[in-house]
Amino acid sequence: MSRVWIVKRKHFYLAAAALLLLLSSLLYVNRGSIVPTAAEPTAERTIHMVTGEFKSTTADGKTIEAYRWDPGTVVVQKGERIKLSIYGVNGQSHPFLIEGLNISGEVKKGKETVVHFTANQEGTYRIICLTHTDIAHSGPMIGYIVVD
């Protein structure tokens, strides 16, 4: 024998209202994860570098030196906004360029040089000092920015 359920109109409206109340309560409780919020701009990350010098004396008394960026390699994420802060510790002047990023500048002893960029493409970008380009000029003074 089968049963027949008869739903009165007022019961249908009450069930619909209860369901609506339940769903709106769930949306309210989970509003941070369900309701999309305006995208906040990505914060800029600061990376600190310094100019450094290695100096030594050979067995025959000759002084040798090499200039470096420290750290020599930095890793950033694709799309990341970067503030590169370089402080001049050793050497009077280090004019530089960052290949592939269209950035150039100069670091002077006792001064901070700041450049801003967004790493839009993966790859390895060299930061090259134009004064210390090879061994004959106390180099090569080359650092690397790796974009993953």
In this prediction, residues 67-83 reach a mean pLDDT of 95
pLDDT tens, position by position, 61-72: 999 999 999 999
Dist CA 49 CA 93 (whole Å): 15
pLDDT tens, position by position, 92-115: 999 999 999 999 999 999 999 999
Q: Which of 76, 55, 74 is nearest to 142 (CA)?
A: 74
Q: pTM of this prediction? A: 0.69
CB 86 within 8 A of CB 70: no
Q: For residue 42, what are its two tokens? A: 């990505």
In this prediction, residues 45-62 reach a mean pLDDT of 95
In this prediction, residues 37-49 reach a mean pLDDT of 77
